[in-house]
Amino acid sequence: MNTKPFKSGLGGNAVMITRVADRQWHALDDDLVVGRAHAQHRPDGRLFVSIDAWHDAAFDLLAEAMLARLPAPLYTLVDEADTELTARWRRAGFTIRRREWEYVVPTDPRVTGLDGVLPPEGVTIVPAGQADETLLRAVDRAIRDEVEATAGWQSMPAEVVGAPDGDTIVDPSTYAVAAGPDRYLGLIRVVRVKRPRIGLVAVRAAEQRRGIARALLAHALGTLHHSGADAAWAEVQESNRAASAVFEGIGARPMSSNLELVR
């Protein structure tokens, strides 16, 4: 692996950039690490980059090194409140692609107003880990095709990249579904890593406005509440007003906003 340091052509700066691993760089000032850069593919297949640097010069040199090595397009995510970091990325040629709100979602049904919410007649909720994988993949594929035909799946928050055969269900145990007589009508995915995150809630287009999404949320949040989690998190794109209305309608609060930038 190439770990040979090199100097940027910006001139006069003593900071040296070293590629220390695949898609990882360090900025060194007299052998002191003054910045780190990293690139990683997100689950949706896009390449995201990040830089943590002490000062602008180190940031600019790391950005220069990364951009020379990595294929476009490149993405990064920044807290909108961090105007200094946003300015650094824009100086490197990145532009704002979209804004996402991060919501904290209460799980207590007495707070959400979902206590007693049931699915519509003829629909049952299948708990996470109990769904038929063939039917689960079928509803996931159908919903993705519907979104792709309208807003485009790239408008969704970071998602799961498809396998070569098009399968996008990496872990079936994270999905609860709304089941009709002969097929699944909707799904919700809750991932628990550091904190519970609602990664996706979606319903087939022809089945929307029946209360299926609320029933899925009632089930998922109720399950989290009974397990001891008092809140979950969800990201919603600013332009998706319908999703914002759903979450705000159950007491969710926007806690911060992130900017997705692209070069």
Q: pLDDT value at position 156?
A: 55
Q: pLDDT value at position 182?
A: 95
Q: How far is CA 160 from CA 41, 89, 94, 204, in A?
A: 11, 26, 24, 18
Under a CB-based contact definition with an 8 Å cutoff, are residues 121 and 252 in contact? Answer: no
Tell whether pTM > 0.95.
no
Q: pLDDT value at position 167?
A: 66
Average pLDDT on 130-157 reads: 81
Query: Could you report the per-residue pLDDT of 159-179, keeping only the tens digit for each?
Result: 544 554 556 787 899 999 999
Choice among 30-34, 130-134, 256-260 with the minimum mean pLDDT: 30-34
Is the confidence at residue 9, as pLDDT, over 80?
no
Is the confidence at residue 51, as pLDDT, over 80?
yes
What is the Cα–Cα distance from 82 to 24, expressed in whole angstroms?
23
Choice among 67-71, 133-137, 154-158 with the minimum mean pLDDT: 154-158
Domains of the chain, each with CATH number or no CATH: 16-99 (3.40.630.30), 102-257 (3.40.630.30)
Query: What beta strand segments (E) does the chain contain?
Result: 16-21, 24-29, 32-41, 47-53, 75-79, 95-106, 124-126, 175-179, 184-192, 196-203, 231-237, 253-262
Choice among 25-29, 39-43, 86-90, 104-108 with the minimum mean pLDDT: 39-43
What is the Cα–Cα distance from 166 to 158, expressed in whole angstroms?
17
Residue 25's pLDDT band (boundaries 50, 70, 90)?
very high
Average pLDDT, the chain: 88
Helices (H), 39-132: 56-69, 83-91, 109-112
In the chain, the percentage of residues whose pLDDT exceeds 70 is 87
In the chain, the percentage of residues whose pLDDT exceeds 90 is 68
Burial tier of 73 (Cβ tally within 10 Å: 0-12, 13-18, 19+): exposed
Q: pLDDT value at position 3?
A: 45
